[in-house]
């Protein structure tokens, strides 16, 4: 692999960044991993730095305190890379982060299928890496990571030596950083979807055409909990993607599962996986608008022992919050109408802007609107391979609620 020169500039030669007077407390004293544009003191030299430039951060006393990355063209303008102001951002530096993340997953998850890097939660801001056994999918969603992509890939080779590497540049976050979209295979070959073993089932993930990185590892523990609720009964899996909830339920003993999604590609993966697992006779899939499908099923009198609704982010930002909350209430209203008495409704949200309490309120309001009552039996989040940065609640974006309905 041909690599561009890594960052080997000492702190004395790097550009220096300071906060505006009295604006750096959140970053310097509270441990936040990034800072906003209006917190930084800019001069013409600083403004002219290329997006993603590595710089040395100074405190109020002009002492060097950290190695940071700067992108003056975004609201999140400064990202913490290392508390050592002399850190070299090269292949060895990346390898150390990858190795630490790998060792943590070995302790908490086991196997070779998991989220390897969860951005700030693993000390690599804006970087996502999902591991599928011998294959890795990389998202470099920040300008600094794009600028150091060669060193990043070198570090990945040093730590894991993957046979296949896919660069997935389709995240909306890249647009905020001024980065172009795309998806490409940069190492090895792929002759089709890859197998993902978890929760007693074998799933299929398309790393080149599938949603996000190809699979939603964050839902692993929630797939397992939903399977417990559906055991011995019928499941409805709405916004099903490639069948994460429904196939886990079938593996745990559900009598049948119906997966509803708008993507035929995702449903084809679910159908093929169901067949490979021997679940084909108990699995059905329908390409449809989720709200329309739930409305039609209710009109037909269909009922299920477990209904799971895992929609896309209805409120990806604060501007979309009000409309997003209405959409979650509607989802809960339609979903709860399909639950047998004594059965269960699970509602998921991957919206960063939605607080857990707000999701619970909207879910409860939606259930009441359908004439249902019940009790909350479970609150979940992403699995242990999605560590949360203590000063950055956004890294804990996923929320799940499970209710038993009367």
CB-based contacts of 29: which residues, under 8 Å, 6+ apart? none
Owner of token pair 């970053």: 27
Nearest-angstrom CA–CA distance, 78 and 8 = 20
Burial environment of residue 170 by CB neighbours within 10 A (0 to 12, 13 to 18, 19 or more): middle
Which has the closest alpha carbon to 36: 392, 405, 398? 392
Burial of 223 (0-12, 13-18, 19+ CB in 10 A): buried
* Parallel/antiparallel/unpaired status of strands 283-287 and 76-82: unpaired
Q: Which of 136, 309, 348, 350 is catalytic?
A: 350
Whether 309 is a known active-site residue: answer no
Which residues are catalytically annotated?
350
């Amino acid at each position: 692999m041909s690599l561009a020169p890594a960052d080997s500039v000492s702190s004395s030669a790097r550009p220096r960044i300071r906060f505006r007077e009295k604006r750096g407390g959140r970053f310097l004293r509270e441990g936040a991993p990034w800072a906003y544009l209006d917190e930084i003191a800019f001069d013409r030299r600083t403004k002219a730095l290329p997006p993603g430039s590595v710089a040395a951060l100074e405190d109020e006393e002009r002492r060097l305190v950290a190695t940071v990355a700067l992108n003056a063209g975004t609201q999140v303008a400064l990202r913490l890379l290392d508390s050592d102001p002399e850190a070299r951002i090269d292949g060895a530096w990346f390898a150390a982060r990858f190795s630490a993340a790998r060792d943590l997953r070995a302790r908490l998850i086991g196997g070779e299928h998991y989220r390897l890097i969860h951005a700030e939660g693993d000390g690599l801001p804006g970087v996502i890496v999902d591991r599928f056994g011998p294959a890795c999918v990389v998202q470099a969603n920040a300008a600094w990571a794009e600028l150091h992509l060669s060193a990043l890939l070198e570090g990945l080779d040093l730590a894991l030596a993957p046979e296949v590497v896919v660069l997935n540049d389709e995240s909306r976050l890249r647009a905020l950083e001024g980065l172009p979209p795309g998806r490409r295979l940069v190492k090895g070959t792929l002759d089709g979807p890859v197998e993902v073993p978890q929760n007693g089932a074998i799933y299929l993930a398309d790393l080149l055409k599938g949603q996000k990185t190809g699979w939603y590892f964050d839902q692993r523990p929630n797939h397992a909990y939903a399977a417990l609720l559906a055991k011995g009964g019928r499941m409805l899996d709405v916004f099903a993607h490639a069948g994460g909830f429904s196939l886990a339920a079938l593996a745990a003993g559900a009598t049948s599962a119906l997966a509803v999604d708008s993507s035929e590609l995702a449903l084809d993966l679910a159908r093929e996986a169901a067949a490979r697992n021997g679940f084909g006779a108990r699995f059905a899939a329908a390409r449809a608008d989720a709200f329309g499908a739930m409305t039609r099923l209710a009109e037909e009198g269909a009922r299920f022992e477990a209904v799971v609704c895992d929609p896309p982010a209805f409120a990806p930002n604060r501007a979309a919050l009000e409309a997003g909350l209405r959409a979650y209430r509607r989802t809960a209203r339609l979903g709860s109408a399909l639950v047998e008495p004594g059965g269960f409704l699970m509602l998921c949200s991957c919206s960063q802007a939605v607080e857990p309490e707000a999701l619970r309120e909207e879910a409860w309001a939606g259930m009441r609107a359908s004439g249902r009552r019940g009790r909350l039996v479970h609150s979940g989040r992403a699995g242990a391979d999605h560590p949360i940065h203590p000063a950055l609640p956004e890294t804990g974006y996923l929320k799940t609620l499970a209710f038993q309905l009367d």
